[in-house]
Structure 1
Amino acid sequence: MIVGIDLGTTNSLCAVFQDGQPVIIPSSHGRSLTPSIVGVLDSGELLVGDAARDLRVTRPQHVASRFKRLMGTQETVSLHSKQLNAAELSSLVLKSLKQDAEAYLGEDVTDAVITVPAYFNELQRRATKLAGELAGLRVNRIINEPTAAALAYGFHDRDAEKNLLVIDLGGGTFDVTMMEVFEGTLEIIASAGESTLGGEDFTDRLLGHVLQTMQMHLESAEIRLPLMVSRLRDECERAKRQLGNVEQIDIRIPEDDGHFAESPRTVSITTALFSEIVQPLLERVRRPIARVLRDAGLSPDQVEDVILVGGATRMPVLKTCVREIFDQEPLCTHNPDEVVALGAAIQAALLSNDEAVQDIVMTDVCPFTLGVEITKHIGGHDVEGFFLPIIHRNTTLPVSAEEIVSTVRANQREVVIRVYQGEHRKIEGNLSLGELRVTGIPPAPAGVPIRIRFTYDLNGLLEVEALVDSTGRKFSTVLTNHAQHLSKKEIEDAVSKLQDLKFYPRDEVENQQLLRFSERVLGEISPQERQAFEEIIDSFEIAMASGDPSYFQQVRAFLLERLSELGFPHDSGEGSAE
């Protein structure tokens, strides 16, 4: 049995596709939400979920929460006498969900689709997959949370044709995804976000303000008075939730031991004050939204529907922020806490070829840019460590693309192609994914060209190829990253399918002939026409390396048309410029 799991910062959920519909699986406590909290008793017994949440108030040092933010790092959490990393802690939550699902379904649960924030990098996705494996699950697919939410909406509205924006603000992460919906197809256009922004931060801002009125600082108070801060955080969380329904609320101040006096001190918070307190967070919300609109090439008035996902989107201040940007009321027709898990279950049904979802087609994008390290000649010196993008962020998957690099020294016999993921100009700010060694380059002056091709699919398989034109030798490697759940045979099959993606018209003889013919024509036309025609030739070379069949055909047709206008029609043969 395969299930869909929303592994959240604050709460996690599990869903299954049954009788043509996605269904939330209740926990052993009868709730849809399982708190993503792990605790340990003095006896060493581990607690997960609701029991651990209750322990957090009375014995915060025995409890770990919000560890999703540590995914992909080497940091560990001290849990009583244990040291556990984020993947290990997450595996305990996943194991609890697995046990609840098996009790509900009456059969073994062996496979899962697990959601992650769209802006999770490869290390974070890999850690999520590891957590699933530690919980005894075979992770069939890692899917982006906004994509899962859109799947749930698209499943119930398959005939829609619109531009749809998903704003996903959970307990600890924030994602924005733009997509186009048409004829049962969900095409992701652009994604952005922050993996360290969520509802918990709004609670912490409110907590910090209350402590400030008491002449205390949050970090020092947590160390000196952990029980008081733990109880006060619960009070602030309650106040944050209620401020949507009331104009003012009194937050009770606990004593140093975490208990409330018979007549406790209070701090009054109005909705206007809360909005002022969290303005820096709302600015952080606005930035990824603006980035997605830029990447998608759309203005706010071109977005038909704005969908809110994640429990933190219930906050009125968030809804007001969204209304100000898009001048429309955001939609929340499905439970924002559950919609991602429901979408994960639909993705599981797609992987299982369930008849109920055969008419749904989904595309996704590469959330980060993929590229290689290069050397630049600056100020008379060769400077290493620069990043050359090959597949840009928000490129629709699957995709194949190419760039040309060259040797930097005379008689250079070897090149190490180092692959990175990220948006920084230099590799030191990006994430290393692996490398490919190119050897046997013949002795020659600096500048021997090497063509690098990236081919990337929805499973997370990245094939890296290097072609040395002067020798015809090809070098390649496959970086599986978060697709490591695939068997060797499945990887071989997936790599075979990648070959079908490759569209490299530069390799075709007729296109090389057309390029040479055009270059000869360039030497025969008038100087007034030369610059404009050379720009067309440049565009043709760029199109040959783009890997985009539609774009290439458009540019090729334009080049042929311009040749005819200049009086040099080109046929399918070598042609001449006489």
Structure 2
Amino acid sequence: MYDAKLSVDEIDRVLLVGGSTRMPLVRSMASKLFQKLPERGLDPDEVVAMGAAVQAGLVQKNAALDDVVMTDVSPFSMGILSRNETMHGVINGAFSPIIERNTTIPTSRVNYFNTTRDNQTEILVEVFQGEAPLAQDNIRLGSLRIEVPRAAAGKENISVRFSYDVNGLLEVDVTVLSTQNTKSIIIEGGAKTLNPADRAASLKRLSKLKHHPSESRKNQEIIEALNELFAMHLGADREHVAGLLAGFLTSLDSQDEKTIAKAQKQTQEAIEAMRGFYVR
């Protein structure tokens, strides 16, 4: 309910799914949590079967389900071990999520990290899954090493991109920004059952997602419009445009579709309002 941003009062009905929900203790706990009795009209096992049938129909693109949209989400956060500097101190071995739980998949997200020691020659990227603040308390999925040029601490940077699909296939691409050297690993997880053709198809689909939101045509048009308004205005109006641009770029860096869509709408309305002032 926290992730869905819903309160107990906003829940209309409670459906229990799975045979174990027949247990009186489970039903009692659900009643206390949601402050209403769970529905009894549907068999918990039948609910599972109905959901599986709908999913199978969607995979087969059955015409009867043309109006049904089902989205898969990542059940856990996935990220890497890093050194996290906070206003209260430094956390060594921190967990830095790149794809957070409940992110709609397939998806591709990127984050940036830097060296932590002088004359460092390589970076070990360790991949974890979980929700604990320390990486060691999460599940380790894999790792890779990549060489970096010698430099002062913090001068060399890498991008770490996670691309994840509905089959449980996670592709990790690490790029040294100064040299553009890239190393990748594929963590298959639930995708181990895929045949070679399906595996190749999944990787091909993920490759199409590997771009930053700022690279899309619509977002570039909004950025260009803001740049034009900034060049046109002076004083307080120019500061206002700069604020709009900063806010929009921040939304793009979130790489969250809902956040970006909301920012697109609000920023376009602000642009039209400023343009409309001169054509009335």
Q: TM-score range by the shorter chain?
A: 0.7 to 0.9
Is the counterpart of residue 428 in structure 1 residue 124 in structure 2? no
Larger strand percent: 1
Decide whether the 8 Å contact of 2:226 with 2:241 is kept in 1: no
Question: Where do residues 89-100 of structure 1 align in structure 2 (5 Å cutoff)?
Answer: none
Corresponding residue number in structure 2 for 1:485: 193
Decide whether the 8 Å contact of 1:416 with 1:437 is kept in 2: yes
Query: CA, structure 1 residues 379+322, in 2 after alignment: closer, same or farther (shift >3 Å)?
Result: closer
Q: Pick from 40, 45, 57: which aligns with 1:332?
A: 40
TM-score with structure 1 setting the length? 0.40
Decide whether the 8 Å contact of 1:503 with 1:548 is kept in 2: no
Corresponding residue number in structure 2 for 1:294: 2
- Quick one: distance in 2 between partners of 1:481 and 1:369? 14
- Quick one: distance in 1 between partners of 2:222 and 2:160? 19
Corresponding residue number in structure 2 for 1:364: 72
Corresponding residue number in structure 2 for 1:551: 259
Query: CA, structure 1 residues 514+363, in 2 after alignment: closer, same or farther (shift >3 Å)?
Result: same
- Quick one: distance in 1 between partners of 2:256 and 2:210? 9
Q: Work out the number of aligned pairs and report it.
A: 271
Decide whether the 8 Å contact of 2:222 with 2:268 is kept in 1: no
- Quick one: distance in 2 between partners of 1:506 and 1:414? 29
> Per-residue deviation at 1:419?
1.0
- Quick one: distance in 2 between partners of 1:350 and 1:554? 28
Decide whether the 8 Å contact of 1:308 with 1:331 is kept in 2: yes
- The superposition leaves residues 91-136 of structure 1 with CA deviations (integer Å, 9 ceiling, x where unpaired) of xxxxxxxxxxxxxxxxxxxxxxxxxxxxxxxxxxxxxxxxxxxxxx
Corresponding residue number in structure 1 for 2:248: 540
Corresponding residue number in structure 2 for 1:471: 179
- The superposition leaves residues 270-298 of structure 1 with CA deviations (integer Å, 9 ceiling, x where unpaired) of xxxxxxxxxxxxxxxxxxxxxxx111011
- Quick one: distance in 2 between partners of 1:406 and 1:376? 11
Corresponding residue number in structure 2 for 1:241: none
SS at match of 1:333: coil
Query: CA, structure 1 residues 337+550, in 2 after alignment: closer, same or farther (shift >3 Å)?
Result: closer
- Quick one: distance in 1 between partners of 2:58 and 2:116? 48
Corresponding residue number in structure 1 for 2:207: 499
- The superposition leaves residues 472-511 of structure 1 with CA deviations (integer Å, 9 ceiling, x where unpaired) of 3443332111111112222111111113334513446957
Unmatched 5+ residue regions in structure 2?
276-280
Query: CA, structure 1 residues 321+381, in 2 after alignment: closer, same or farther (shift >3 Å)?
Result: closer
> Per-residue deviation at 1:332?
2.9
CA RMSD of aligned residues (A): 4.0
- Quick one: distance in 2 between partners of 1:386 and 1:299? 31
1:365 counterpart letter in structure 2 = V
> Per-residue deviation at 1:421?
0.5
Question: Where do residues 381-400 of structure 1 align in structure 2 (5 Å cutoff)?
Answer: 384-400=92-108
Corresponding residue number in structure 2 for 1:449: 157
2:8 counterpart letter in structure 1 = P
- The superposition leaves residues 165-223 of structure 1 with CA deviations (integer Å, 9 ceiling, x where unpaired) of xxxxxxxxxxxxxxxxxxxxxxxxxxxxxxxxxxxxxxxxxxxxxxxxxxxxxxxxxxx
Query: CA, structure 1 residues 467+514, in 2 after alignment: closer, same or farther (shift >3 Å)?
Result: farther
> Per-residue deviation at 1:304?
2.6
1:405 counterpart letter in structure 2 = F
Question: Where do residues 53-72 of structure 1 align in structure 2 (5 Å cutoff)?
Answer: none
Decide whether the 8 Å contact of 2:107 with 2:209 is kept in 1: yes
Corresponding residue number in structure 2 for 1:458: 166
> Per-residue deviation at 1:434?
1.2
- Quick one: distance in 2 between partners of 1:354 and 1:561? 39
Corresponding residue number in structure 2 for 1:306: 14
Decide whether the 8 Å contact of 1:401 with 1:546 is kept in 2: no
> Per-residue deviation at 1:413?
3.4
- Quick one: distance in 2 between partners of 1:541 and 1:478? 30
- The superposition leaves residues 401-442 of structure 1 with CA deviations (integer Å, 9 ceiling, x where unpaired) of 222212223343322221110011001110011123333446
Corresponding residue number in structure 2 for 1:402: 110
1:392 counterpart letter in structure 2 = E
> Per-residue deviation at 1:316?
4.7
- Quick one: distance in 1 between partners of 2:17 and 2:88? 52
> Per-residue deviation at 1:514?
5.0
Query: CA, structure 1 residues 426+529, in 2 after alignment: closer, same or farther (shift >3 Å)?
Result: farther
- Quick one: distance in 2 between partners of 1:471 and 1:512? 31
Question: Where do residues 229-248 of structure 1 align in structure 2 (5 Å cutoff)?
Answer: none
SS at match of 2:109: strand
- The superposition leaves residues 127-171 of structure 1 with CA deviations (integer Å, 9 ceiling, x where unpaired) of xxxxxxxxxxxxxxxxxxxxxxxxxxxxxxxxxxxxxxxxxxxxx
Decide whether the 8 Å contact of 1:441 with 1:468 is kept in 2: no
Corresponding residue number in structure 2 for 1:376: 84
SS at match of 1:412: coil
Greater gyration radius:
1
SS at match of 1:497: helix
Corresponding residue number in structure 2 for 1:60: none
Unmatched 5+ residue regions in structure 1?
1-292, 568-578
Decide whether the 8 Å contact of 1:419 with 1:433 is kept in 2: yes
> Per-residue deviation at 1:368?
0.9
Decide whether the 8 Å contact of 1:413 with 1:441 is kept in 2: yes
Decide whether the 8 Å contact of 2:148 with 2:176 is kept in 1: no
Decide whether the 8 Å contact of 1:390 with 1:402 is kept in 2: yes
1:299 counterpart letter in structure 2 = S
SS at match of 1:467: strand
Decide whether the 8 Å contact of 2:120 with 2:148 is kept in 1: no
